[in-house]
Amino acid sequence: MPQLLSRLDLSAAIAAPAPRMSNDENRSGNPTGPNTSVITKVKPKTKRPNLYRVLILNDDYTPMEFVVHVLEKFFQKDVEAATKIMLHVHHHGIGECGVFTYEIAETKVTQVMDFARKHQHPLQCVMEKK
């Protein structure tokens, strides 16, 4: 059971001087002065989120123009960059559209896949951890 302080003990505790937070005594050369301490606020270290590559896979049926359109629409590529990625996909079977955090990469993959299905193309888009 906690102890109750009497009014006298309580008023003495309230009236007690607060500890000093500077080291003025140590600078003046008084070795018998009170010990001092410094209070520091610790900031939590944040970790960068994992990144994911969004990739388009080659197939024999999706028109090249459609792939360029997808790259422009969902990955904000200009015609030149989109064409370069599309040709890389065509020649190597896979091409990187961009690198994003997990949620953004997942959203882009879903958007591309839905858009391809809506236009009746078998285009495949996947993501992998970088």
pLDDT tens across the length of the chain (130 residues)? 455 555 545 555 555 555 555 555 455 555 565 678 888 888 888 999 999 999 999 999 999 999 999 999 999 999 999 999 999 999 999 999 999 999 999 999 999 999 999 999 999 999 999 9
d(CA 21, CA 12): 21
Looking at residue 55, its pLDDT comes to: 98
Strands 94-101 and 51-57: antiparallel
How many other β-carbons are positioned within 10 Å of the β-carbon of residue 57? Answer: 14
CATH of 63-129, one of 3.30.1780.10, 3.30.200.20, 3.30.1390.10, 1.10.10.10: 3.30.1390.10
Cβ atoms of residues 56 and 95 within 8 Å: yes
Per DSSP, 119 falls in state T
Looking at residue 109, its pLDDT comes to: 98
pTM: 0.67
